[in-house]
Structure 1
């Protein structure tokens, strides 16, 4: 493997099953993102106002679940992003002990499905420490996505040329100052899209917490379906709502990325 090939592989940032972030340079009015969003919104409106009343009732049953879903996602992001940063720094640390701990955490957590982690924290650990629903869900999602984000941060940091680090050190910066004042600000442009993707995937995966009785969107849809037996209508509505939310969030990430690129060009 030559040097250029190794560098290109080092710069690849893996993401999970989040939606594709719209290209910030995309100027066409009709594109995949706009078609998907328009189709989802129109479908939801047509079903609720032109279809059977069960669609409308299912949508009115969801607001509490939507709020809880956003609450869980926001709390998990606040925990997972710092954890991912620490993990990424640990993965590139020269300290063998720190590197081993961070690498082991990534390998173990990425090898266990999130659903199993939710069950383990809420049910298995309850034999020793009682953890309520919201904290258990936030801890499980944060630990799971902290490992994935750790790889994103590691790849983004390694994508910065070593010359930047050497230049900073030659100016008298220590390692901490070099990382947080020179490397990370440059790496953020590379890191932002996959981190945004992970956050959106995190929002979707909060649907798994319904298995522990958390009244999120999925659990609210299940409750409505069990009461009305309108399973098709309930799950169709919740699927469209999830789709609309994730598409809007992906666009927000795309706009932020475009702003960062714009400010970088002006510098």
Structure 2
């Protein structure tokens, strides 16, 4: 019988044949797209929504990361009220499906926000300095981005909290003894060590948001999925259209996953030096 360590070593040494197979399949599909007029047409239509998908994902994830970090810091603060608020926010947001949150922000939150803005600006509107705000002034794309930001911030907040708590308390106490401020302790001691724990799940959340960005199509935002829906409903070529959609998303997610793994390895080597 082989020992667990031998099993572990053989696993680490396995050649990534799955990646080779995936590349071969992807290249084969690319040849089909280039050679077939129908697939080429579908691919061209879908690519029109690629930049919208990228924009929604990058902006939404950046905002979610900032908000999630804020929630994590509240959850780790000395104030009991702040900790309870952070836990309340996290549990509520994590308990609501992203699609439901998307509808709520788009059709409940945005009108409520516009109504509040009009109420605050009533003197200016009455005096004729500005026109009343309208719900349609808030674009559907930004409603979708805000929904993704809120939805993912709860999960990212937990990632940050776990990473920060993984840092040895003895080092934090030593930093306090040296007279470092709270900000200096976080920047110089806590964050450089926590990032090694935070980065892998944070990367997974980014890849997950790429896929969940397809939900914005329910609001009519012209991303990859929405462009595919419009084309398929007009041409009735559902097989060709959604096969290409799956292919594009697969290229995006697998490519990002490999890039993030490479970044993790580089950072790990940098920390070990």
Q: TM-score range by the shorter chain?
A: 0.7 to 0.9
Deviations 1:96-135 (A, max 9, x none): 1111111111001001011111111111234432231111
Select the residue among 24, 30, 38 that pairs with 1:45: 30
Residue segments in structure 2 that go unaligned for 5+ positions in a row: 1-10, 115-134
Q: Is the 8 A contact 1:86 1:150 kept in 2?
A: yes
Q: Distance in 2 between matches of 1:157 and 1:127?
A: 37
Alignment partner, residue 157 of structure 2:
150
The count of residues paired between Structure 1 and Structure 2 equals 240
RCO higher in 1 or 2 (8 Å CA, sep ≥ 6)?
1
Q: CA deviation at 1:55?
A: 1.7
TM-score (norm 2): 0.83
Q: Distance in 2 between matches of 1:48 and 1:76?
A: 31
Give structure 1 regions of 4+ aligned residues with deviation exceeding 4 angstroms: 25-29
Is 1:116 paired with 2:100? Answer: yes
Q: CA deviation at 1:53?
A: 3.0
Residues 84 and 34 (structure 1), Cα distance of their counterparts in 2 relative to 1, 3 Å cut? farther
Is 1:177 paired with 2:184? Answer: yes
Is 1:32 paired with 2:18? Answer: yes
Deviations 1:145-186 (A, max 9, x none): 011000000111111111111111111112232122210111
TM-score (norm 1): 0.85
Residues 126 and 189 (structure 1), Cα distance of their counterparts in 2 relative to 1, 3 Å cut? closer
Where is the helix percentage greater, Structure 1 or Structure 2? 2
Q: Which has the larger radius of gyration?
A: 2
Is 1:65 paired with 2:49? Answer: yes
- Root-mean-square deviation (CA), in Å? 1.8
Alignment partner, residue 5 of structure 1:
none
Alignment partner, residue 5 of structure 2:
none
1:85-124 alignment, distance < 5 Å: 85-124=69-108
Which secondary structure does the structure 1 equivalent of 2:222 belong to? Answer: coil
Residue segments in structure 1 that go unaligned for 5+ positions in a row: 1-24
Q: Distance in 1 between matches of 2:205 and 2:246?
A: 19
